[in-house]
Amino acid sequence: MQTFENQFLIAMPSLDDPYFSRSLTYICEHNEDGAMGIVINQPVGMTLKELLEQTEQDAIVLPEKAETPVLAGGPVSRDRGFILHTTQSGWSSSLQLTSDIMVTTSKDILSALGNNNAPDKAIVALGYAGWSGGQLEHEIQHNSWLTVEADLDILFNTPVTEKWEKAVKKLGIDIWQLGPEAGHA
């Protein structure tokens, strides 16, 4: 079985699902039971400072981190936070995804996100994207998604509004030239 862990899912232009249109999703886990990922380019219209004011009133938020956008990580469990971040241990519920990337779901990371106790780089997302066993493979076969190896620069350093296009450029193709039936010659 091909695994899509540590891959970006790039939504094809023909994918008209309002939630996933032009989305870029980082796949955290993929096995025979299904897949779990976090959409990394869909802001919810809230900043890190605003989120922390609601959840961690005593948290210190440095000015350079205050305007960090909070993202819509997916349509599942939108009331739960998922923090993708560079490796930093010490949180009560973290999973090492690669040697450079972890995901933390425990609340203890929240108070650190706005200050110098936070991981070097982090993405704050509400919710996640999930697929049942075989569903993601089916969607890829039916041209909803393209995949490319995840890239730390796109993940953590690229502005949210540029992530999808930068991931497409990694493929070396002009995605707008692809028809909805690509791969079915």
In the prediction, which pLDDT does 18 show? Answer: 79
Judged against a pLDDT cut of 50, whether residue 185 lies above it is answered with: no
Q: With bands split at pLDDT 50, 70 and 90, how would you rate the model's confidence at 182?
A: very low
Residue ranges of domains in the chain = 7-177
pLDDT of residue 181 exceeding 70? no
Q: Return the CATH fold of 7-177.
A: VC0467-like (3.40.1740)
The set of residues, in sequence order, having a beta carbon less than 8 Å from that of 167 and lying 6+ positions away, is: 8, 10, 24, 148, 151, 154
Average pLDDT over residues 60-84: 93
Distance CA 20, CA 18 (A): 6
- pLDDT, one tens digit per residue, over 29-50 is 999 999 999 999 999 999 999 9
User: Which pLDDT tens digit goes with each residue over 122-161?
Assistant: 999 999 999 999 999 999 999 899 999 999 999 999 999 9
- Check residue 179 and give its pLDDT: 57
How much is the CA Rg of the chain, to the nearest whole Å? Answer: 17
